[in-house]
Amino acid sequence: QVQLVQSGAEVQRPGASVKVSCKTSGYTFTANYLHWVRQAPGQGPEWLGWINPNIGATVYGQQFQGRVSITVDTSLRSTFMELRSLRSDDTAVYYCAREGLDGTVPLDHWGQGTLVTVSS
Amino acid sequence: DIQMTQSPSSLSASVGDRVTITCRASQNIHTYLHWYQQKPGKAPNLLIFGASNLQTGVPSRFSGSGSGTDFTLTITSLQPEDFATYYCQHSYSAPRTFGQGTKLE
């Protein structure tokens, strides 16, 4: 079955960077786009961006441009999300999610989430 | 950016009730609209994709309808496990924005 397993919780200082990993299994890795979504405490989900694992092409939300990088390592069947210049309002649970192959491209499988806490 | 507006933000209901949640897009998104259920401490779970298609394994008491800018999620005969927060999301373009959520309690 399809699984996305993320790395563990992180605590970072303001101004630092964080890199979260997401290891996939159970499907052809290069067949589906992978997305990253975050959710601040008590808030709705916020989309960060996506990557095409086949060619490494990315699209990011405008508010994260210049601060976020999404990459893949096909040999590891993994995607990585790095967020730089962390601020306290970056404290959130970060999720990876697989885009389905239906023409309307929903997010059909999600990782378990990684809590990133930004605190001095 | 396309804005997604859900209503109501919270909804009080009882087991066995029929409930409807609405989601409005700020521009035409055709049927590029999905519904997710989220329980505390868990990732969102896909319920409905393409506005009206039931994801595999989701009970048939869940249904979705709409196209263009106005969409609804309906749950018939609420079960105890349905008390959760529900989000809509569009996939028409980037950024793939979510609604602010509807907490069913």
Question: What is the residue-wise DSSP string for chain B?
Answer: ---EEEE-SEE---TT--EEEEEEESS--TT-EEEEEE-TTS--EEEEETTTEEPTT--TTEEEEEETTEEEEEESS--GGG-SEEEEEE-SSSS--B---EEE-
Per-residue pLDDT band at B81 (split at 50, 70, 90): very high
Mean pLDDT score, A59-77: 95
Distance from CA of B48 to the nearest CA of A (A): 9
pLDDT at res. B54:
97
For residue B8, whether the previous peptide bond is cis, meaning omega lies within 30 degrees of 0, is: yes
A89 reaches B (C-beta below 8 A): no
Which residues on B lie below 8 Å from A50 (Cβ)?
A: 94, 96
With contact defined as beta carbons under 8 Å apart, do A107 and B34 qualify? yes
Provide, as residue numbers in chain A, all residues whose Cβ is less than 8 Å from the Cβ of B49.
100, 102, 104, 106, 108
Confidence of residue A102 (pLDDT cuts 50, 70, 90): confident
A45 touches chain B (CB under 8 A): yes
B20 to chain A, closest Cα gap in Å: 19
